[in-house]
Amino acid sequence: MQPVSSASNVTVVARSPGLRSGEVEVVVTLPTYKRPEQVLATLQSVIGQRTSRRFAVVVMENDAEWHAGADAVAPLFENGTAPGLLIIAHDRGNCCAYNAGWATALAEFPNLRFIQVIDDDEVATPDWLETMCRSAGSLGADIVGAPQVPLFHEPGHEHWADHPVFAPPYRETGVVPALYSSGNLLIARRVLDAMPRPFLDLSFNFTGGGDSDFLSRAAMRGFTLGWCAQAPVMETVPARRLKPDWIRSRSLREGVLSTWVEKRKRGGSPAARLRVAGKSLALLAASPVRGTIRFARTGSLSNGLYPFYVALGRLLAEFGYANEQYRQAEKN
């Protein structure tokens, strides 16, 4: 790949010929790291969207050394099959990749109205883009989330879809109090114009949770959040994510991130810190009852243990515990 242009932490390595940047209404940002086959499938699903809206794609390769994902998708940009840009985000980390993509979209497409986000282990349904944009209008929402439907590596594992680490936070379309993931998300331009940069806090770079923190801060600024149940993406779930140690680690991580985000939301006063710790202790005390109810309903021990691990993760966060699952993202 020969770079087209570069900045201090971003290199543009491919730009589709004849790209009319000023006509683009929606930009889909797609980060990738060591998943060449999957990012190609994701990009092809985005290219095939059924919509009359002018849209472009920004793929953010976060493996500057080997750039296998960029090598896989570059021909689609170079021959004009994929409208948009392929960039290298040189600074490693989940948050750095997102920040590079969003900043590039704002700089390159002056008239965009929405940024949509999809990850490189997901495939969009054909009406995904149009449905998300319409939902933003019908709900009066500034940010819209939608389901990430798990596709399990092996048959017979479909029951895991109801486990909290895989299940969507909402089932019905509507305005919601909180969103937690950027894996399937629409963000109005006005949100990014109002939020400070970098958009995602780099302290979450390898733990995850930068998206949840960003969404929490956006809600605190008064932006309306919505959920669109009709715009799912299909997320590939490898077999390793069904192992007990991965489920336990992810559950603990969700507890840790919950504490971090809540502390930011409440502020740093001693009273606020005590309230957060008190809530964590209360959740830990309630976890046996909540877990028993979950186990009785699902018959799954892993599901039943989830409230305990989340509460334990919240408390561990008080002592500096951080699970950097994205330090080796290809093994996550």
**pLDDT digits (tens), the chain, 332 positions:** 656 655 568 999 999 999 999 999 999 999 999 999 999 999 999 999 999 999 999 999 999 999 999 999 999 999 999 999 999 999 999 999 999 999 999 999 999 999 999 999 999 999 999 999 999 999 999 999 999 999 987 777 888 888 899 999 999 999 999 999 999 999 999 999 999 999 999 989 888 889 999 999 999 999 999 999 999 999 999 888 888 898 998 899 888 888 888 888 777 677 777 888 888 888 889 889 898 998 888 888 898 898 888 889 888 888 887 777 666 666 66
What pLDDT sits at residue 256? 87
> pLDDT per residue over 41-76, tens digit each?
999 999 999 999 999 999 999 999 999 999 999 999
Whose tokens are 């949770």? That residue is 209
What pLDDT sits at residue 328? 66
In the chain, CATH 3.90.550.10 sits at 5-240
End-to-end CA, the chain: 28
Q: 162: how many CB neighbours lie within 10 A of its CB?
A: 14
Amino acid (1-letter code) at residue 95: C
CB contact set of 38 (below 8 Å; sequence gap of 6+): 32, 120, 121, 236
- Whether the ω angle into residue 244 lies within 30 degrees of 0, i.e. cis, is no
What pLDDT sits at residue 125? 96
CA dihedral 253, 195, 90, 62 (to 10 degrees): 50
C-alpha to C-alpha distance for 144 and 161, rounded to whole angstroms: 22
Q: 43: how many CB neighbours lie within 10 A of its CB?
A: 28
CATH superfamily label, 5-240: Spore Coat Polysaccharide Biosynthesis Protein SpsA; Chain A (3.90.550.10)
- Beta strand ranges found along the chain (DSSP E): 5-6, 10-15, 26-32, 55-61, 84-89, 114-118, 122-124, 143-145, 148-152, 174-176, 184-188, 225-227, 233-237
C-alpha to C-alpha distance for 29 and 183, rounded to whole angstroms: 11
